[in-house]
Structures are given as C-alpha cells and as structure tokens.
Amino acid sequence: MSFADMKRSAQANLEKLTSELEKLSNPNNNNDDQNTWYPSVDKAGNGYAVIRFLPAPSGEDVPFVRLWSHGFKGPGGWYIDNSLTTIGKPDPVSEHNTELWNSGIEANKKIVSGFGKDNPGSKRQLNYYSNILVISDPANPANEGKVFLYKYGAKIFEKVKDAMNPQFPGETPINPFDFWVGANFQLKIRQVEGYRNYDKSEFDKPAPLFNDDAELEAVWARQYSLADLIAPAKFKSYDELKSKLQKVLGNTVGLAPKSDAPWDNMSRTTAAPSFKAAPTPVLATALASADSDDEDIDFFKRLAEED
C-alpha cells in the first residue's frame, strides 16, 4: 500500500480498527478453540441465541462433562489451570485451600473464599461442556446449523436439571439432550448489577430437532468427544501444578500469619469449599457442588492479560 492509498483508505481503516476493538471488548469472541461456541453480547451486556443440547456422542454415555479449575492471583503472579480433582486425583491447590480453611484463621479463609468477583481467590470454579446445535445466533448467523461444544456454568445447568426434574404439578419432565423429545433452549443474557444473568433463559416445548432421521444422524456424526476434554493427558501432573502454585504463592506455601491481612488480594466468592475428588458426573448430584458462572475462568484470564 502506497502513502496515497493509505490516505484514501483512512475511513476503511477506521472501520476495520473499530471492528477489531469491538472484538476485544467482547472477549467471548476471542476464542482460540474453534470448536467451542460462546454467545455474543452487545455493549450493554445483553445477548440472545437459540441452541439445542445434543445427546452423548458415539461411544460415550453422558451428554455433558464437568471440569473443575482454579483462577486466582498471588504474590508471584496468576494461577490459571484445570484441577486434577476433575479426574478424581489429588490437586495441590485444593490441598492448600483445605489447609488454609482448616487453620481457623479468618485471613486464610478469605484467601480461599474471597469477597467478590473482582477479587478472585483460590476456590475451585466449575464449568460444564456439552455438544450443541446452534439454531439461531443473530449476532453471528454463520454459526447457525453448526455443531459446537458449549461451555456453561451452574445457572444454565440448573435450567437443564429443572427441565428433567420439574418442581411443580402438571409439568412434564423432558430430556433436553434428546433428538426427538428434547427442546430448543432460548439463551437470554442480561447484565444485572455487573454480572451476567440467565434467569430468563428457557426451554421451548418439546419437539424433534428434525423429522428426518438421516438429518439427525448427520448431526450426531458431527459431535465432538466430551470424554476427550477431561482425558488424563489433558491435565498437568501433580508436581507441575505444585511447582506452579509455589511460584504463584511466592514460594510461601504455609498459612497466612494470624495478625496479617491476606496477601495480594488473593480472594474470591463465598462459602466453605469442599475439595474431595470429583467423581464421574451424575445428573442427580452434579449441581450440588456447582459454584461458578460460566465465564469465571475466562474472566480471570482477561484479568491476567491486563496485568
């Protein structure tokens, strides 16, 4: 491009730059994994899409997996990694958190449980993954008709659980993951007091995804393995995570002094954590230990990038 061409294309360059800035302001669009779908939100934090949860992939028994992770900052920087408790193994962060909590020292408890989303701590975060078919994505129409992995949190999972186990008389249980008697899910996102809110999201009436079994089988064949997401090879070893934790803690792995405040704002939300190894997910019990929103770890990653 010559200098004259650059001058003539000033407006086009501005429009392109503006577009890139909008992508940066909506981190859900900055996805390195092209197989995972994230709903887009506008500048006000609102968004809408229609998706269909899909059955378990071929060779697998459960249409979702859950993944525990940690995202927090210590004196030595950020710790953002998946937890070995996902696959039923001891995890150094969980062990450290248990030690802090059991100390009975309030400063240590605050390190674990924290006090607000803007002050992330070492408590575990929980997310679920399922295969979905995107029915409607007004912000990104090119996604419609495609199969993706969908990462979601406890609030969406509760909607799924409620659909399968309705609480009121006259409500018929449905299997949201079924091709024939499942239902489309209207994902309605609002920004409420600085947080994403999914309360208005809801399932439509049950109906087949398609009336043609050949179309359904074609969708099923395009699904991604869920078991692969939590395969042991995808996790760092205990020793690797322990070394990383010690670095983040500034090589201080003991308890906080009784008289001192928690170091470096290492805090997050609320409630005493439970750090026993997580077994293979069971729908009836998986929600009991859910403790995060679907964007938590992405939020922590953005904080780390801004440092």
Give the burial class of 188: count Cβ atoms within 10 A of its Cβ; 0-12 exposed, 13-18 middle, 19 or more buried. Answer: middle
Task: Read off the pLDDT of residues 138-173 as tens digits, 9 standing for 90 and up.
Answer: 999 999 999 999 999 999 999 999 999 888 888 889
Residue 156: closest CA among 107, 195, 108, 189: 189
Count Cα neighbours of 272 within 13 Å in the Cβ-side half-sphere: 9
pLDDT given for residue 170 in this prediction? 84
Please state, in angstroms and rounded to a whole number, the distance separating the CA atoms of residues 94 and 100. 10
CB 36, CB 150: distance < 8 Å: yes
Which residues, in sequence order, are bridge partners of residue 37?
Answer: 150
Half-sphere exposure of 8 (CA within 13 A, CB side): 5
* First and final C-alpha spacing in the chain: 35
* pLDDT single digits (tens) 24-52: 444 444 444 789 999 999 999 999 999 99
Mean pLDDT value across residues 76-91: 93
If one compares 238 and 105, the residue with the highest pLDDT of the two is 238
Q: Mind listing the domains of the chain with CATH numbers?
A: 31-306 (3.90.198.10)
